[in-house]
Amino acid sequence: MQMFFEIKNLRVRYEGAEVVKGVSLHLEEGEIVTLIGSNGAGKTTILRAVSGLKAPSAGEIWFEGTRVDGRNAQSIVKLGIVQVPQGRGLFPYMSVAENLKLGAFLRKDRRAVQKDLADVLVHFPRLKERARQQASTLSGGEQQMLAIAAAVMCRPRLLLLDEPSMGLSPLMVSEIGKIVREINATGTTVLLVEQNSRLALKLATRAYVLETGNIVVEGAADELMHSEHVRKAYLGE
Amino acid sequence: MSETKRGRTVAKAAAVVVLVVVVFLMPNILSGNKYWLTILTLLAINVLLVSSLRSVILINEISLGHVGFALIGAYAQALLMMKGGLTFWPSLILSGLLAAAVASLLGHPFLKVRGIYFSILTLLTAETFRLVVYYWTGLTGGSLGLVGVPSPEPVTLFGRTVEFNTVNTYYYLAVGVVVIALLILYHFERAYINFQWRAIRDDSMLAGALGINVVGFKMVNFTISAFMAGISGGLFAAFQHNLSPDTTSRFGVTMSIYLLVYMVVGGQTRFIGPLIGTAVLTLVAEATRSIAEYQPMVTGSIAILVMIFLPMGLAGIPAQIQTWLRKRRLRSAEAPVGGGTER
């Protein structure tokens, strides 16, 4: 059977140093899968390779029967893989509404975009209040919401989230968690990269644990939540 | 709220009307003073060149090569009229198009780099154009210059024949062309394409990741800008009647730097900036003509002072006063709440 999304034996180097050393993982349609690991394990690098921002040195990436590694970022977005970058990739001097419109830049169906814009603003009432404000004037949590909302405007099939909880208050973290679940419920598959392993394991159906460029553990999220290794290393128990 | 807005619109409209009337009556006001009309005509031509330079700012790049496109425009205008046998208007359009064509060819490799690298590339390219003209003696006259560029042919308007061989009439032609060109540039700044340009200016990597063709949109910007620089060159050629590719001419590196200074002093964030900056610094240059050797120092000092005290340039003064007033109002409103315990 054809896999929805699959990474086979991916290797990525930065100036000679191998950061990702042969990672394989897969996602089935409609799943939330999380990739957890500590600083420098190579999580963000994997996402950058998937979204075409960094060329892998070896390995294959497949999305719905199409090979996507080696393609440029634009064509990958066109296929339906959209990344919300770490540190909230936003246009700081453009308004909230403009940021959302830019998220849907590649979509040609203007009417549907308008409808989605209205829908998104219903889901994110805070953004609606601030629709005409410059993105740089939002709080950290609001900026993260905007980044996710802009990605949703693209109607992704696969959403890549890179540390959405970074730098947010605990209240905002659970808010973001709720939003991720809602997005998933509308049929978007989510690959969530997180350092906040507790949140990630709560949201996800399956999880991969990455250590220095290798997948060391994988399995159902609730199993991992109780595994000795994960509890010690990532949940601080 | 809306009343102050309406007031501002009325004030703006009034200012535009006054400006138009003054510009139109200028030859009468100066009672045909050739010296000042020449300066004003060159001022108009320079405003177009600086505005074209500023339009590249919209994609967050600084071009030091716009004198190169002006040079292409000027020599194209001159050669098309002198050797090509074309009349003024088709030559002017063609010289703009030629500059635009060169820019679109260079745009693809140039706009893949950013910041200082882009500036260096444009600077060196402009110098290359100048040296090509300098050494291509057969076509351009080289260092001896190209002499005898004809004036625009006369036109008959309402039964009256208007010649453009004096500065009195060429003034109107130059100002007319510059105003139309500025309106076109202004249109682009307000048009839908500005949405993409702003996204690229804010974060070109992210814009690319969202599917905006970054290099493509930058190229459109650069090409339009080079077209306008070419037009300004063409206007210059038919006005001065002779062209020279010397380092001290208006196609040398020094001029590139001056254009940049005009833009910064005027204020690069506003469309009106180049007009204000060029006008003020041209007038300062005229006022200090008696100490010609020290002129660069005067200009430089003004530029430094503006950068320190008016980071938004001369065009940003009203906005800066507003901010200052608002701050004062806030402070005076807060003071009684503080209970007077503050120092």
Q: Which residues of A touch B210 (CB under 8 A)?
A: 77, 102-103, 105-106, 154
- A103 falls within a domain: yes
User: What letter would DSSP give residue A153?
Assistant: T
- Please judge whether A92 and B202 are an interchain contact, meaning their C-beta atoms are less than 8 angstroms apart: yes
Question: How many angstroms separate the CA atoms of A83 and A61, rounded?
Answer: 15
Of residues B2 and A198, more confidence is placed in A198
Question: How many angstroms separate the CA atoms of A219 and B321, rounded?
Answer: 63
Q: Which residue has the tokens 């590339």?
A: B121
Mutate to test the interface with A, among B59, B198, B210, B213 (most CBs of A within 10 A): B210
Residues in chain A: 237
Say if residue B185's pLDDT is above 80: yes
Looking at residue B303, what is its pLDDT?
Answer: 93
Say if residue B339's pLDDT is above 60: no
Phi, psi of A4 (to 5 degrees): -65, -50
Nearest one of B307, B305, B286, B308 to B295, comparing CA atoms? B286
- Please judge whether A73 and B209 are an interchain contact, meaning their C-beta atoms are less than 8 angstroms apart: yes
Average pLDDT score over residue span B195-224: 86
Q: Which residues of B touch A154 (CB under 8 A)?
A: 210
Phi, psi of A120 (to 5 degrees): -60, -40
Helix (H), strand (E), coil (C) string for chain B: CHHHHHHHHHHHHHHHHHHHHHHHHHHHHCCCCHHHHHHHHHHHHHHHHHHHHHHHHCCCCCCCCHHHHHHHHHHHHHHHHHCCCCCHHHHHHHHHHHHHHHHHHHHHHHCCCCCHHHHHHHHHHHHHHHHHHHHCHHHHCHHHCEECCCCCCCEEECCEEECCCCHHHHHHHHHHHHHHHHHHHHHHHHCCHHHHHHHHHHCHHHHHHCCCCHHHHHHHHHHHHHHHHHHHHHHHHHHHCEECCCCCCCCCHHHHHHHHHHHHHHCCCCCCHHHHHHHHHHHHHHHCHHHHHHHHHHHHHHHHHHHHHCCCCHHHHHHHHHHHHHHHHHHHHHHHHCCCCCC
Looking at residue B266, what is its pLDDT?
Answer: 93
- Please judge whether A85 and B213 are an interchain contact, meaning their C-beta atoms are less than 8 angstroms apart: no
How many C-beta atoms surround the C-beta of residue A50 within 10 A?
Answer: 23
Same domain, A175 and A212: yes
Question: How many angstroms separate the CA atoms of A55 and A12, rounded?
Answer: 7
Rounded to 5°, the CA angle A48-A52-A56 comes to 75
Looking at residue A88, what is its pLDDT?
Answer: 62
User: What letter would DSSP give residue A104?
Assistant: T
- A112 falls within a domain: yes
Total structural domains within chain A: 2
Question: How many angstroms separate the CA atoms of B338 and B152, rounded?
Answer: 70
Same domain, A74 and A162: yes
A103 touches chain B (CB under 8 A): yes
Looking at residue B3, what is its pLDDT?
Answer: 66
- A86 falls within a domain: no
The one-letter amino acid at A1: M
Looking at every residue in chain B, the average pLDDT score rounds to 88
**How close B216 comes to chain A (CA, Å)?**
13
Same domain, A4 and A101: no
- Please judge whether B206 and A83 are an interchain contact, meaning their C-beta atoms are less than 8 angstroms apart: no
A87 touches chain B (CB under 8 A): no
Residue A232 sits in a domain whose CATH number is: 3.40.50.300
Q: Which residues of A touch B112 (CB under 8 A)?
A: none
Q: For B20-47, write each residue's pLDDT tens digit.
A: 888 888 888 888 788 889 999 999 999 9
Categorize the per-residue pLDDT at B275 as very low, low, confident or very high, splitting at 50, 70 and 90. very high
Q: Do the Cβ atoms of A193 and A3 come closer than 8 Å? A: no
Say if residue B2's pLDDT is above 70: no
Mutate to test the interface with A, among B60, B202, B213, B217 (most CBs of A within 10 A): B202
Same domain, A192 and A227: yes
Same domain, A40 and A68: yes
Question: How many angstroms separate the CA atoms of A47 and A62, rounded?
Answer: 13
- A43 falls within a domain: yes
Looking at every residue in chain A, the average pLDDT score rounds to 87
- Please judge whether B199 and A83 are an interchain contact, meaning their C-beta atoms are less than 8 angstroms apart: no
Nearest one of A152, A148, A136 to B202, comparing CA atoms? A136
Say if residue B146's pLDDT is above 50: yes
Question: How many angstroms separate the CA atoms of A193 and A170, rounded?
Answer: 18
Nearest one of B26, B284, B271, B290 to B168, comparing CA atoms? B26
Q: Do the Cβ atoms of B81 and B88 come closer than 8 Å? A: yes
- Please judge whether A78 and B210 are an interchain contact, meaning their C-beta atoms are less than 8 angstroms apart: no
Q: Which of A155, A172, A193 is the last residue of a domain?
A: A155
Q: For A193-214, write each residue's pLDDT tens digit.
A: 988 888 888 889 999 998 888 8
Question: How many angstroms separate the CA atoms of A163 and A194, rounded?
Answer: 5
- A85 falls within a domain: no
Q: Which helix (H) or strand (E) holds A51?
A: none
Of residues B304 and A233, more confidence is placed in B304
Chains A and B: how many Cβ contacts under 8 Å?
A: 49
Looking at residue B336, what is its pLDDT?
Answer: 57
Question: How many angstroms separate the CA atoms of A73 and A68, rounded?
Answer: 10
Strand A189-194 versus strand A32-36 pairing type: parallel
B112 touches chain A (CB under 8 A): no
- Please judge whether B212 and A105 are an interchain contact, meaning their C-beta atoms are less than 8 angstroms apart: yes
Q: Which of A121, A155, A189 is the last residue of a domain?
A: A155
Q: Which of A53, A73, A94 sits opposite B199 (nearest CB)?
A: A94
- A226 falls within a domain: yes
Same domain, A166 and A236: yes
Same domain, A99 and A52: no
pTM: 0.81
Say if residue B341's pLDDT is above 50: no
Say if residue B141's pLDDT is above 60: yes
Q: Which of A51, A94, A101 sits opposite B209 (nearest CB)?
A: A51
Same domain, A161 and A150: no
Looking at residue B340, what is its pLDDT?
Answer: 45
CA–centroid distance for A208 within its chain: 14
Q: Is A233 helix (H, G, I), strand (E, B) or coil?
A: helix
Q: Which residues of B touch A106 (CB under 8 A)?
A: 210-211
- A58 falls within a domain: yes
Same domain, A231 and A121: no
Q: Which two tokens mark A234? A: 């990532």
Q: Which chain B residue shows the shortest CA-CA distance from A74?
A: B211
Question: How many angstroms separate the CA atoms of B32 and B280, rounded?
Answer: 22
The domain of A114 spans: 91-155
Q: Which of B202, B211, B212 sits opposite A94 (nearest CB)?
A: B202
Nearest one of B14, B139, B141, B166 to B84, comparing CA atoms? B139
Same domain, A67 and A103: no
User: What letter would DSSP give residue A8?
Assistant: E
**How close B197 comes to chain A (CA, Å)?**
11
The yes/no answer to whether this complex scores an ipTM above 0.85 is no
Q: Do the Cβ atoms of B57 and B188 come closer than 8 Å? A: no
B260: burial class by Cβ within 10 Å (0-12, 13-18, 19+)?
buried
Average pLDDT score over residue span B250-259: 91
Same domain, A194 and A210: yes
Q: For A23-60, write each residue's pLDDT tens digit.
A: 999 999 999 999 988 888 888 899 989 988 888 999 99
Q: Which residues of B touch A86 (CB under 8 A)?
A: none
Same domain, A170 and A218: yes
Q: For A82-120, write each residue's pLDDT tens digit.
A: 888 776 678 888 999 888 888 888 888 888 888 888 888
Strand A158-162 versus strand A17-27 pairing type: unpaired
Looking at residue B69, what is its pLDDT?
Answer: 96
Looking at residue B343, what is its pLDDT?
Answer: 43
**How close B317 comes to chain A (CA, Å)?**
21
Q: Which of A99, A134, A155 is the last residue of a domain?
A: A155
Looking at residue B338, what is its pLDDT?
Answer: 47
- A186 falls within a domain: yes
